[in-house]
Structure formats: structure tokens, C-alpha cells
Amino acid sequence: MKRAILIGVFVALCFSASGTTIVPYETTKKADFESAVVQLDAAMSKRLKIKPIATVKPAQGNITRKEVAARLIALMKHYQSSFRVTPRPFDVYPEVIDKYNKDATLRADLLTLSRWGLIGPVGPLVSNPSENISEEEVGDALGYFYTQITYLSHQPDPRWTPALSDGE
């Protein structure tokens, strides 16, 4: 055990001495984000039996949190006609949204998405102090979003949902 710890310390010292820097995360490229959204939208639209939303030709560079929120709002409006249930109340923290987001449009979009439960109430899309967003954070936002869209667009069967059954 001591030998394993010593080897670990040695390797860590070698990396720190070599001048290797560890990048905290990779920011998401606009083209990568749009590619993921197109694939997810195609699958969701097929399930909901609606036409996929029009694709956006991405510009070069990294995507910002404002652009991600705007795209999620557009997708929500596209899927809204397929919603079958009213969502339960979600925790919303407007003070957190206001603290980390200066842009009024972004704050309004984040508040709407939070109220519908489509993003984490204090997730990276809401509380990241940077304008850029990492690949992991984009994955987190898309995962929350599509999980909730699936819930909202599914009508539970009373035979398998005791709360909806009439006691039979």
C-alpha cells in the first residue's frame, strides 16, 4: 500500500514538474451543440409524431449559455403542443438566476425553463459565472431538458398508474 501511494505521489510530481497544465474543461463548439440537438430532436420528434424543428446553421466558435438557453426555449415551444400533463411545481431560485446572469433575456429564458423543470434550478446553465459552457454542462442541460420533455409528453395509462385509476 505504501508503495502504491509513493508511486502516485511520484507520478503527480512528474506531471507538475513537466509544466503540463490541466485544462478544467473543454468549451462546447457551436457546431457540436447543434449536431447533438439535431440528433436528439429527430428522435424526440419521431416519438411525438411531429416534424423536427428547423436546424440552425451554426457559426464558428464556442457556444454561450445565452445561446443554449435560447435554443432550449425554441425547442420547448416546438414540443409544447405534445404536452399531455401539467408539471408539478418545481423549485425555482430567481435570486440565483439574477446573481449569475446580467442579461434580461437570458434571465427570463432561464426562469421559464426552471419553472417547467427543464433545467436544474441551480445547475451549470443557471449558476455558471462564465459565459461559455463546457461539454459536460451542455450534456447536463440537455439531459434535464429531454428527460422532462419525455415526462410532459407522456400520458400515463390508468391501468398501470394507481393514482389515475378509478378503483377497479
C-alpha cell at 120: 436544474
pTM of the model: 0.79
Percent of the chain having pLDDT more than 70?
82
The rounded distance, in Å, linking the Cα atoms of 137 and 149 is: 18
C-alpha cell at 76: 420547448
Q: How far is CA 131 from CA 25, 27, 42, 69, 126, in A?
A: 14, 10, 28, 12, 11
Spans of all domains in the chain: 23-152
Over residues 67-120, the pLDDT tens digits come to 999 999 999 999 999 998 887 888 899 999 999 999 999 999 999 999 999 999
Task: Tell me what pLDDT residue 25 has.
Answer: 60
For every residue of 104-130, DSSP letters joined together read HHHHHHHHHHHHTT-S-TTSHHHH-SS
